[in-house]
């Protein structure tokens, strides 16, 4: 039941309590980057409520802030429904979806052929898992270097830092990229995700595509480089960077902004280094293309782009669903919730939190695929 606007405003307090109890998300879960301000107005005239009930989903921490906003908005306008999203990481999200314990999974890393085949065990009526790109954004490279607020790195130098080939901040390779910066003689401590992560997959895809000789490892959700130290989740990496002088790591841009961590600009070969912003990420994502078939909307990004103003280290967060649904009792609610996340309203609201909306020509296809789930 959709409530009148004035009633929905009064309902926001109780809903927020329910969400914090149900969602292992940013404001009340393990990956806290405090990215959602408390004064957000979750009321909307554009939510189509599905049937009452509860959805369980899990996965990508990169889209945790977006999921929190979407879930709060949906629940504030559809009080008989509840959306429970656990930000467990892409690897765990895919695993739980393939085990049939969630209605959909969140991932920043594409399923492999074996995983798509495995999905046929949980997808009904001969269906299979497909990717629905729902939100995108830049992966920032944050660092802790007192007195250095502007830092430029390129792919080769970054690969050698994260593979422990460059170990001091005043290394000549870094100094050459930063001629006007006084770099301290401090040891570099790179940090990487200990859990299976789509953010790691996308970051190492950039390193492998842009500096294959310096980073010979195949992209993966699990870290493959040498040396460094690990931490769990994006919030774990943020904590390590904050606590350790000389640290460097990678996480979604909102984590850097909300925790006041300076981030690297990337020398891509364009005329000027490219900073990580929603706008430059959109330019980088626009260079990608759909590679999925038979209704699958998986994208291939151009991590080695040198286009002017195009940031190269980006991720696309997908919702993994069965093309024909997986659980009849939650199908209609799943479809209603995802219709909202893919709507103009849903895409627009998360752009306020360092997310890049999916380009119009792609999100139109996402809406069509959601509508055809049956």
Q: Which residues pair with 193 in a beta bridge?
A: 231
Q: In the chain, pLDDT over 70 holds for what percent of residues?
A: 89
Q: Does the pLDDT at position 32 exceed 70?
A: no
Q: What pLDDT, on a 0 to 100 scale, did the predictor assign at position 182?
A: 97
59-95 residue pLDDT tens? 998 898 899 999 999 999 999 999 999 999 888 999 9
* Least confident range of 93-97, 242-246, 278-282, 294-298: 278-282
Most confident of 42-46, 270-274, 361-365: 270-274
Residue among 158, 147, 153 nearest 184 (CA): 147
DSSP string, 160-175: HHHTTS--BTT-HHHH
- Alpha-carbon distance 206 to 304, whole Å? 7
CB 285 within 8 A of CB 162: no
Q: What pLDDT, on a 0 to 100 scale, did the predictor assign at position 333?
A: 95
- Alpha-carbon distance 332 to 344, whole Å? 20
CB burial of residue 37 (10 Å; 0-12, 13-18, 19+) = exposed
Q: Can you list the domains of the chain with their CATH numbers?
A: 5-135+319-372 (3.40.190.10), 139-285 (3.40.190.10)
Q: What pLDDT, on a 0 to 100 scale, did the predictor assign at position 40?
A: 64
247-295 residue pLDDT tens? 999 999 988 998 999 999 999 999 999 999 988 998 888 878 899 998 9
CB burial of residue 34 (10 Å; 0-12, 13-18, 19+) = middle
CB 263 within 8 A of CB 141: yes
Mean pLDDT score, 38-56: 81
The total number of residues written for the chain in this structure: 374
In which residue are the tokens 């600009």 written? 265
CB burial of residue 367 (10 Å; 0-12, 13-18, 19+) = middle
CB 141 within 8 A of CB 199: no
Total-model pTM: 0.76
In which residue are the tokens 């906003």 written? 69
Please give the mean pLDDT across all residues of the chain: 87
- Alpha-carbon distance 76 to 301, whole Å? 35
CB 347 within 8 A of CB 93: no
Q: In the chain, pLDDT over 90 holds for what percent of residues?
A: 69
């Amino acid at each position: 039941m959709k409530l009148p606007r004035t009633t929905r405003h009064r309902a926001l307090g109780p809903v927020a309590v329910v969400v914090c109890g149900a969602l292992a998300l940013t404001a009340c879960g393990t990956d806290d980057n405090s990215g959602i301000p408390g004064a957000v107005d979750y009321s909307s005239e554009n939510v189509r409520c599905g049937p009452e009930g509860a959805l369980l989903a899990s996965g990508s921490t990169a889209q945790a802030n977006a999921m929190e906003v979407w879930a709060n908005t949906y629940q504030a306008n559809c009080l008989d429904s509840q959306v429970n999203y656990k930000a467990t990481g892409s690897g765990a999200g895919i695993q739980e979806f393939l085990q049939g314990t969630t209605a959909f999974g969140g991932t920043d890393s594409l399923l492999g052929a074996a995983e798509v085949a495995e999905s046929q065990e949980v997808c009904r009526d001969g269906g299979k898992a497909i990717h629905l790109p729902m939100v995108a954004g830049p992966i920032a490279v944050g660092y802790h270097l007192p007195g250095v607020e502007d830092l430029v790195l390129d792919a080769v130098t970054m690969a050698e830092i994260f593979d422990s080939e460059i170990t001091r901040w005043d290394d000549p390779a870094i100094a050459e990229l930063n001629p006007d910066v006084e770099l301290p003689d401090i040891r570099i401590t790179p940090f990487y995700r200990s859990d299976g992560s789509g953010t790691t997959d996308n970051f190492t895809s950039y390193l492998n595509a842009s500096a294959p000789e310096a980073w010979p490892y195949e992209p993966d959700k699990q870290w493959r480089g040498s040396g460094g130290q690990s931490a769990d989740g994006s919030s774990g990496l943020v904590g390590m960077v904050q606590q350790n002088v000389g640290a460097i790591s990678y996480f979604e841009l909102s984590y850097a902004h909300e925790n006041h961590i300076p981030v690297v600009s990337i020398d891509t070969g364009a005329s000027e280094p490219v900073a990580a912003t929603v706008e430059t990420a959109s330019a980088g994502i626009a260079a990608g293309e759909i590679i999925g078939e038979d209704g699958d909307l998986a994208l291939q990004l151009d991590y080695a782009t040198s286009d002017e103003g195009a940031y190269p280290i980006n991720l696309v967060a997908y919702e993994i669903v069965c093309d024909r649904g997986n659980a009849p009792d939650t199908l209609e609610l799943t479809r209603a919730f995802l219709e909202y996340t893919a709507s103009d309203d849903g895409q627009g609201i998360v752009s306020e939190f360092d997310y890049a909306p999916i380009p119009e020509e792609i999100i139109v296809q996402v809406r069509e695929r959601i509508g055809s789930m049956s």
